Amino acid sequence: MPVTAYDLSGRTVFVTGAAGGIGRASALLLAQAGASVHCADHDAQGLEETAALVRDAGGTARTHHLDVSDRAQLKRAVACCERLDVMAAIAGIMHSSPVLETRDEDLDRVLAVNFKGVLHACQEAALRMIADRTRGSIVTMASGAIDTGGAGLLCYGVTKAAVVQLTKTLATEVGPHGIRVNAVAPGWIRTPMTARHGEAQERTEALMARMSPLGRVGEPEDIAHAVLHLACDAAAFTTGQILRPNGGVAMPW
């Protein structure tokens, strides 16, 4: 495969969850591949920091401070794009509670961001691509949690499983328009979201590193490269698929 298959020069990408972690790493890498990047997140400060990093590296970035669970906000942001070639729907949150203690409001919030937010991004991207006759790529963010049950992670796991179903269904519906839809299902990745668990995080990382044939946990950049692959022409014949960069470990939650 020629290196030019990873060249996104002249293309525009939209990244949700771009204020940090996997979203930030993806925005930076996509920009390094030549794309003009639209960065979206509810974290205004982190969003501006990401955009500054993109610009410092010689890339082009525009920011959109929004809540992906609000369809109208996302619709307005996508409408601001001069064109749209790639949607990377990465924004997500994590909630932990035992099944018997999970409240309706807990599930509703995680669904609003992790599923509805991804649905909104996919819908707006696909509609724009179809209208412009763009043979684009949509990349969603699932999780290793889709493959195994995890104590306390009902809300998170359910929403990520829903993202997989969305990805596969949408791929069949928009494929005739030349639009590809794929998901990335990472293993344990060291991000600001996972780092909030303190000592428990350290123990989990040590466990995951021991279980991986590679002897380490993942970094945001590892997942960003998976996003780049699915976004560009190197994956031109790939759609409806779930890419699992997990270091050889299915998360044993």
* pLDDT value for 230: 98
Domain ranges, ordered by start, for the chain: 3-243
Confidence (pLDDT) at 252: 46
The structure tokens 């997140």 sit at 41
- What are the distances in angstroms from CA 151 to CA 175, 205, 218? 37, 17, 21
Sheet (strand 36-41) strand order: 60-65, 36-41, 12-16, 86-89, 137-141, 180-184, 242-243
End-to-end CA distance of the chain, in Å? 37
Q: Which candidate in 6, 14, 115, 156 is catalytic? A: 156
Q: Give 61's strand partners.
A: 37
The pLDDT, as a whole number, for residue 200 is 66
> Cα(219)–Cα(33) distance, rounded to whole angstroms?
19
CA 114 from centre of chain: 10
Measured in whole angstroms, the distance separating CA 144 from the mean position of its chain's CA atoms is: 13
Contact 61, 39 (CB under 8 A): yes
Nearest residue to 27 (alpha-carbon basis) of 91, 82, 81: 91
pLDDT score of 217 = 81
- CB 138 within 8 Å of CB 181: yes
Residue 246 phi, psi dihedral angles, 5° rounding: -130, 15
SS (H, E, C) 93-135: CCCCECHHHCCHHHHHHHHHHHHHHHHHHHHHHHHHHHHHCCC
pLDDT of res. 3: 66
Q: What are the average pLDDT values for consecutive 10-residue runs of the chain, which has 253 residues? A: 81 98 98 98 98 96 98 97 97 92 95 98 98 98 87 91 98 98 92 64 78 87 98 97 89 47
Please name the fold of domain 3-243: Rossmann fold (3.40.50)
Tell me if residue 156 is catalytic.
yes
Q: Hunting for tokens 């960069």 — which residue is that?
A: 245
The model carries a pTM of: 0.93
pLDDT on residue 253:
44
